[in-house]
Amino acid sequence: AQRVTQPEKLLSVFKGAPVELKCNYSYSGSPELFWYVQYSRQRLQLLLRHISRESIKGFTADLNKGETSFHLKKPFAQEEDSAMYYCALSGRNAGNMLTFGGGTRLMVKP
Amino acid sequence: GAVVSQHPSRVICKSGTSVKIECRSLDFQATTMFWYRQFPKQSLMLMATSNEGSKATYEQGVEKDKFLINHASLTLSTLTVTSAHPEDSSFYICSARGQRYGYTFGSGTRLTVV
Protein backbone atom coordinates (compact mmCIF):
# COMPACT_ATOMS: atom_id res chain seq x y z
CA ALA A 1 0.00 0.00 0.00
CA GLN A 2 1.17 3.50 -0.69
CA ARG A 3 1.45 5.94 2.13
CA VAL A 4 2.61 9.52 2.61
CA THR A 5 3.67 10.91 5.96
CA GLN A 6 4.15 14.54 6.88
CA PRO A 7 5.38 14.46 10.47
CA GLU A 8 4.77 18.12 11.24
CA LYS A 9 1.24 19.48 11.41
CA LEU A 10 2.48 23.01 12.02
CA LEU A 11 5.71 24.74 11.16
CA SER A 12 6.28 28.30 12.27
CA VAL A 13 9.26 30.34 11.09
CA PHE A 14 10.24 33.97 10.83
CA LYS A 15 10.42 35.81 7.54
CA GLY A 16 13.76 35.25 5.88
CA ALA A 17 14.46 32.00 7.70
CA PRO A 18 15.00 28.73 5.83
CA VAL A 19 12.08 26.34 5.60
CA GLU A 20 11.97 22.58 5.26
CA LEU A 21 8.67 20.72 5.17
CA LYS A 22 9.24 17.02 5.60
CA CYS A 23 7.60 14.29 3.56
CA ASN A 24 8.27 10.56 3.68
CA TYR A 25 6.59 7.94 1.60
CA SER A 26 6.22 4.22 1.21
CA TYR A 27 5.61 2.70 -2.16
CA SER A 28 6.78 -0.41 -3.95
CA GLY A 29 7.89 0.78 -7.34
CA SER A 30 8.70 4.11 -8.88
CA PRO A 31 6.33 6.76 -7.57
CA GLU A 32 5.61 10.22 -8.80
CA LEU A 33 5.81 12.78 -6.00
CA PHE A 34 4.08 16.15 -5.77
CA TRP A 35 3.76 19.08 -3.45
CA TYR A 36 0.41 20.88 -3.38
CA VAL A 37 -0.30 24.18 -1.67
CA GLN A 38 -3.57 25.58 -0.39
CA TYR A 39 -3.62 29.26 0.44
CA SER A 40 -6.34 30.60 2.68
CA ARG A 41 -9.78 30.34 1.03
CA GLN A 42 -8.30 29.05 -2.21
CA ARG A 43 -8.33 25.70 -3.92
CA LEU A 44 -5.57 23.18 -3.79
CA GLN A 45 -2.97 23.86 -6.46
CA LEU A 46 0.12 22.11 -7.68
CA LEU A 47 3.35 23.61 -6.40
CA LEU A 48 5.84 21.26 -7.96
CA ARG A 49 6.40 17.69 -9.07
CA HIS A 50 9.58 15.74 -8.80
CA ILE A 51 9.83 14.74 -12.44
CA SER A 52 10.04 18.34 -13.60
CA ARG A 53 12.88 19.17 -11.20
CA GLU A 54 11.94 22.82 -11.21
CA SER A 55 11.86 25.56 -8.63
CA ILE A 56 8.53 27.28 -8.07
CA LYS A 57 8.25 30.40 -5.91
CA GLY A 58 11.70 29.60 -4.59
CA PHE A 59 10.69 26.13 -3.41
CA THR A 60 12.58 23.00 -4.39
CA ALA A 61 12.15 19.35 -3.51
CA ASP A 62 14.47 16.47 -4.21
CA LEU A 63 13.34 12.89 -4.34
CA ASN A 64 15.60 10.76 -2.17
CA LYS A 65 14.80 7.16 -2.98
CA GLY A 66 17.22 5.82 -0.40
CA GLU A 67 15.48 7.67 2.41
CA THR A 68 12.07 7.57 0.66
CA SER A 69 11.73 11.28 1.23
CA PHE A 70 10.61 14.28 -0.75
CA HIS A 71 11.21 17.24 1.54
CA LEU A 72 10.17 20.72 0.42
CA LYS A 73 12.71 23.47 0.97
CA LYS A 74 13.02 27.20 0.59
CA PRO A 75 16.09 29.14 1.69
CA PHE A 76 14.28 32.35 2.69
CA ALA A 77 10.63 32.17 3.72
CA GLN A 78 8.23 34.97 2.86
CA GLU A 79 5.01 35.90 4.64
CA GLU A 80 3.02 35.03 1.53
CA ASP A 81 4.27 31.46 1.80
CA SER A 82 1.96 30.93 4.76
CA ALA A 83 -0.40 28.15 3.67
CA MET A 84 -1.22 24.46 3.98
CA TYR A 85 1.20 22.23 2.15
CA TYR A 86 0.37 18.68 1.12
CA CYS A 87 2.81 16.09 -0.12
CA ALA A 88 1.22 13.58 -2.49
CA LEU A 89 2.19 10.40 -4.27
CA SER A 90 0.94 8.79 -7.42
CA GLY A 91 1.91 5.46 -8.86
CA ARG A 92 0.90 2.98 -11.47
CA ASN A 93 0.42 0.31 -8.83
CA ALA A 94 -2.68 2.07 -7.58
CA GLY A 95 -4.27 3.28 -10.77
CA ASN A 96 -2.41 6.57 -10.70
CA MET A 97 -4.56 7.92 -7.91
CA LEU A 98 -3.10 10.53 -5.61
CA THR A 99 -2.45 9.69 -1.99
CA PHE A 100 -2.01 12.70 0.26
CA GLY A 101 -0.04 13.24 3.39
CA GLY A 102 -1.70 14.81 6.39
CA GLY A 103 -0.55 18.29 5.47
CA THR A 104 1.67 20.83 7.18
CA ARG A 105 0.54 24.32 7.99
CA LEU A 106 3.37 26.78 7.40
CA MET A 107 3.18 30.07 9.24
CA VAL A 108 5.72 32.71 8.34
CA LYS A 109 5.87 35.44 10.93
CA PRO A 110 7.04 38.98 10.15
CA GLY B 1 -3.83 26.25 -17.73
CA ALA B 2 -6.30 23.60 -16.72
CA VAL B 3 -9.37 24.65 -14.75
CA VAL B 4 -11.80 22.47 -12.86
CA SER B 5 -15.11 23.96 -11.84
CA GLN B 6 -16.92 22.44 -8.88
CA HIS B 7 -20.48 23.39 -8.03
CA PRO B 8 -22.03 24.21 -5.65
CA SER B 9 -19.37 25.62 -3.36
CA ARG B 10 -21.64 25.38 -0.36
CA VAL B 11 -24.88 23.50 0.28
CA ILE B 12 -27.10 22.94 3.27
CA CYS B 13 -29.64 20.16 3.11
CA LYS B 14 -32.04 18.33 5.40
CA SER B 15 -31.43 14.82 6.63
CA GLY B 16 -32.79 12.23 4.26
CA THR B 17 -32.48 14.32 1.13
CA SER B 18 -29.99 13.88 -1.69
CA VAL B 19 -27.40 16.35 -2.88
CA LYS B 20 -25.61 16.40 -6.22
CA ILE B 21 -22.17 17.93 -6.66
CA GLU B 22 -20.81 18.63 -10.12
CA CYS B 23 -17.22 18.65 -11.25
CA ARG B 24 -16.36 19.97 -14.71
CA SER B 25 -13.07 20.24 -16.53
CA LEU B 26 -13.42 23.48 -18.44
CA ASP B 27 -10.67 23.44 -21.00
CA PHE B 28 -9.42 19.91 -21.13
CA GLN B 29 -10.73 16.39 -21.30
CA ALA B 30 -10.45 14.43 -18.10
CA THR B 31 -10.32 10.72 -18.61
CA THR B 32 -10.19 10.19 -14.89
CA MET B 33 -11.74 12.16 -12.06
CA PHE B 34 -11.27 11.67 -8.36
CA TRP B 35 -13.51 12.50 -5.43
CA TYR B 36 -12.02 13.34 -2.05
CA ARG B 37 -13.44 14.08 1.33
CA GLN B 38 -11.73 16.31 3.83
CA PHE B 39 -12.68 16.47 7.49
CA PRO B 40 -11.71 19.54 9.53
CA LYS B 41 -7.97 19.78 10.10
CA GLN B 42 -7.39 16.50 8.29
CA SER B 43 -5.97 15.56 4.95
CA LEU B 44 -7.81 14.65 1.80
CA MET B 45 -9.11 11.11 1.76
CA LEU B 46 -9.81 9.54 -1.59
CA MET B 47 -13.38 8.29 -1.86
CA ALA B 48 -13.53 7.03 -5.41
CA THR B 49 -11.99 7.13 -8.84
CA SER B 50 -14.26 7.58 -11.82
CA ASN B 51 -13.37 6.87 -15.41
CA GLU B 52 -15.47 8.19 -18.24
CA GLY B 53 -18.00 5.66 -19.42
CA SER B 54 -17.35 3.07 -16.76
CA LYS B 55 -18.26 2.37 -13.15
CA ALA B 56 -16.43 4.20 -10.42
CA THR B 57 -13.91 2.43 -8.24
CA TYR B 58 -14.61 3.05 -4.58
CA GLU B 59 -12.08 3.02 -1.78
CA GLN B 60 -12.51 0.63 1.08
CA GLY B 61 -15.12 1.81 3.53
CA VAL B 62 -16.90 4.11 1.09
CA GLU B 63 -20.51 3.08 0.44
CA LYS B 64 -21.10 3.09 -3.28
CA ASP B 65 -24.88 3.11 -2.86
CA LYS B 66 -24.65 6.21 -0.72
CA PHE B 67 -22.13 8.12 -2.78
CA LEU B 68 -23.25 7.74 -6.38
CA ILE B 69 -20.72 8.79 -8.98
CA ASN B 70 -21.52 9.36 -12.62
CA HIS B 71 -18.84 10.22 -15.14
CA ALA B 72 -20.97 10.56 -18.21
CA SER B 73 -18.60 12.59 -20.34
CA LEU B 74 -14.94 13.53 -20.57
CA THR B 75 -15.66 16.86 -18.90
CA LEU B 76 -18.24 16.09 -16.24
CA SER B 77 -18.40 13.91 -13.17
CA THR B 78 -21.09 14.12 -10.51
CA LEU B 79 -21.18 12.93 -6.93
CA THR B 80 -24.62 12.42 -5.41
CA VAL B 81 -24.85 11.99 -1.67
CA THR B 82 -28.06 10.02 -1.19
CA SER B 83 -30.19 10.06 1.93
CA ALA B 84 -27.76 12.44 3.57
CA HIS B 85 -27.15 12.33 7.31
CA PRO B 86 -25.39 14.83 9.56
CA GLU B 87 -22.28 12.63 9.62
CA ASP B 88 -22.00 13.16 5.86
CA SER B 89 -21.30 16.82 6.52
CA SER B 90 -17.84 17.45 5.17
CA PHE B 91 -15.78 19.19 2.52
CA TYR B 92 -15.84 17.34 -0.79
CA ILE B 93 -13.20 18.02 -3.43
CA CYS B 94 -12.95 16.73 -6.95
CA SER B 95 -9.85 16.40 -9.05
CA ALA B 96 -9.55 15.82 -12.74
CA ARG B 97 -6.65 14.23 -14.48
CA GLY B 98 -5.85 15.20 -18.03
CA GLN B 99 -3.03 14.06 -20.22
CA ARG B 100 -1.28 17.37 -20.36
CA TYR B 101 -1.88 19.04 -17.00
CA GLY B 102 -1.82 16.19 -14.56
CA TYR B 103 -4.10 16.62 -11.58
CA THR B 104 -6.21 19.75 -11.22
CA PHE B 105 -8.50 20.35 -8.28
CA GLY B 106 -11.90 21.90 -7.93
CA SER B 107 -12.53 24.52 -5.28
CA GLY B 108 -14.49 22.12 -3.13
CA THR B 109 -18.04 21.84 -1.81
CA ARG B 110 -18.91 22.27 1.82
CA LEU B 111 -21.89 20.09 2.62
CA THR B 112 -23.84 20.64 5.80
CA VAL B 113 -26.64 18.23 6.63
CA VAL B 114 -29.07 19.46 9.24
Distance from CA of B89 to the nearest CA of A (A): 19
**pLDDT (tens digit per residue) in A5-58:** 999 999 999 999 999 999 999 988 888 899 999 898 788 888 988 877 777 889
For the cut 70, the answer to whether the pLDDT of residue B100 exceeds it is: no
Query: Do B46 and A99 count as a contact with CB atoms less than 8 A apart?
Result: yes
Question: What amino acid occupies position B25?
Answer: S
Residues A58-83: tens digit of each pLDDT: 999 989 989 999 999 999 999 999 99
Query: Chain A partners of B49 at a C-beta cutoff of 8 Å?
Result: 95, 97
Digit-coded pLDDT (tens) for B48-83: 998 888 889 999 899 999 999 998 888 999 999 999
Answer positive or negative: Cα dihedral of A50, A107, A102, A3: positive
Count contacts between A and B (CB, < 8 Å).
40
Helix (H) or strand (E) holding B78, with range, is strand B76-81
The reply to whether residue A43 touches residue B97, judged by beta carbons under 8 angstroms, is no
pLDDT band at residue B2 under the 50/70/90 scheme: confident
SS3 B62: coil
Minimal-distance CA residue of chain B relative to A51: B102
Burial class (CB in 10 A: 0-12, 13-18, 19+), A74: buried
Min distance A7 CA to chain B CA atoms (Å): 13
- pLDDT in the model for residue B1: 66
Chain A residues close to B43, C-beta within 8 Å = 86, 100-103
C-alpha dihedral (B68, B72, B77, B80), degrees to nearest 10: -20
- Chain A residue nearest residue B34, CA to CA: A97
User: Chain A, 43-82: which have a CB under 8 Å from a chain B CB?
Assistant: 43-46, 49
Residues sharing a CB contact under 8 Å with residue B55, sequence separation 6 or more, in sequence order: none
Are A90 and B103 an interchain contact pair (Cβ–Cβ within 8 Å)?
Answer: yes
